[in-house]
Structure 1
């Protein structure tokens, strides 16, 4: 039994360091847990109306854009939190460890903001040209997936060579296939978020890459932040 106590302490210490060194990720995740619990206490009818008033749809963006762009990032449509705990740990936390909280948050915010405006702009165009009903101005659109897509994309610059290209290909296929098949405004938004994440390369300058797997050397360029 004594043999396992040091291992347990090391594991607890490692988990603690992992979480505390990505404060933005886990505070955001904690907020999502609280709001998800709140959703489970609402009736289905009230929940739909509640989320719609916090949605980044055309109507809400035209009346109070700053409010809905912020609050929409703290609610999960569907009320299932556990998968996001996994996704935040796999993608957001490593990105925050690598970039630092400020740069990680900048990538997530740019992806969320830019993809929302692009997706809703496409939907507005579709309504104006008769490709979508007028009622679509009140479409429910909350969640954290645009920010997540942007962070997934920017991690391309963290993946060691030569695996960064297969990683990028997988990201483009994953987010591009629904865009080709359905072309909904959310599919456009997700793919736009990926492109925004890739465009955030300047924010990765000076952060380097892991060691190159075929040469055993650090393939990143380390310059002052």
Structure 2
């Protein structure tokens, strides 16, 4: 009987010492100690989307101007839906930035008209308001965001209403054109869209201005409200015109 040399290596197909042959892992199969990556389901993706949405929404600490303004607009929208219809209609007429009101009490109506969302919260401009103004406020601050909004709201309103007054004075429009219902935040939101486009990556900038341009083009094609149809592209260009001033202000703040 031959005696095996203790220094000789075990056969390649022999199991390791102390491990039964039935427990040797097969080729291509993960061993018991190997960790496998769990499959990602819809749950984590949904949670990530909700976190991104929460970060995009305005907050009292991160974007105080946008948050406070959004709460005011939400309050007036709820009152507009649930309040006494005659009272609401009277408030809207008193807040209108038509040519007659601008001649009588310009400061009051320019401020009051920006406290309502024409059509309610679930319109394009109502839904865009918190996201657009919040994104701009995170980049340039609350005071500058308020300045861009008011700049677009006031200048676009005057640019569309003053020609009406001139046309009425020249006899080209009836006097009834001086008294029309004109209120809402759409001019200010569109100006903030134009300003925000100067502070986002190139691809986002192209998409943002593309969507805004299509909305302006649709307004001009439909021409349902000529003043608003011209006012939105004017407000967009006004916001884009703020890029140099805002960028210089941000550089000074960050230096």
Q: Note whether the superposition's TM-score is higher than 0.5.
A: yes
Q: Which residue of 2 aligns with 1:94?
A: 135
Q: Which runs of 5+ in 1 are unaligned?
A: 208-221
- Offset from partner CA, 1:129-164 (integer Å, 9 cap, x none): 555432121101111111000001111112212553
In structure 2, relative to structure 1, the CA distance for the partners of 1:162 and 1:11 (3 Å cut) is closer
Task: Give, in whole Å, the separation in 2 of the partners of 1:170 and 1:81.
Answer: 19
Contact 1:127 1:136 in 2 (8 A): yes
In structure 2, relative to structure 1, the CA distance for the partners of 1:186 and 1:130 (3 Å cut) is farther
Contact 1:157 1:204 in 2 (8 A): no
Q: Which residue of 1 aligns with 2:150?
A: 109
TM-score (norm: length of structure 1): 0.77
- Partner of residue 108 from structure 2, selected from 61, 67, 79: 67
TM-score (norm: length of structure 2): 0.69
* Per-residue deviation, 1:29: 0.8
Q: Within the alignment, does 1:205 sit opposite 2:247 as a pair?
A: yes
Task: Give, in whole Å, the separation in 2 of the partners of 1:16 and 1:119.
Answer: 32
In structure 2, relative to structure 1, the CA distance for the partners of 1:86 and 1:177 (3 Å cut) is closer
Give the number of equivalent residue pairs. Answer: 203
Structure 1 residue matching 2:95: 3-state secondary structure: coil
- Offset from partner CA, 1:161-204 (integer Å, 9 cap, x none): 25534532432232134235527011111111111101111232
In structure 2, relative to structure 1, the CA distance for the partners of 1:69 and 1:159 (3 Å cut) is same
Contact 2:99 2:165 in 1 (8 A): yes
Contact 2:57 2:134 in 1 (8 A): no
- Partner of residue 81 from structure 1, selected from 118, 121, 124: 121
* Per-residue deviation, 1:16: 10
Structure 1 residue matching 2:158: 3-state secondary structure: helix
Q: Which residue of 2 aligns with 1:53?
A: 94
Q: Within the alignment, does 1:184 sit opposite 2:226 as a pair?
A: yes
Task: Give, in whole Å, the separation in 1 of the partners of 2:179 and 2:189.
Answer: 24
Q: Which runs of 5+ in 2 are unaligned?
A: 1-43
Higher Cα Rg, which structure: 2
In structure 2, relative to structure 1, the CA distance for the partners of 1:125 and 1:87 (3 Å cut) is same
* Per-residue deviation, 1:91: 0.8
Q: Within the alignment, does 1:124 sit opposite 2:165 as a pair?
A: yes
Task: Give, in whole Å, the separation in 2 of the partners of 1:18 and 1:184.
Answer: 32
Contact 2:160 2:227 in 1 (8 A): yes
Structure 2 residue matching 1:21: 3-state secondary structure: coil
More displaced, 80-89 or 193-202?
80-89
Contact 2:164 2:173 in 1 (8 A): yes
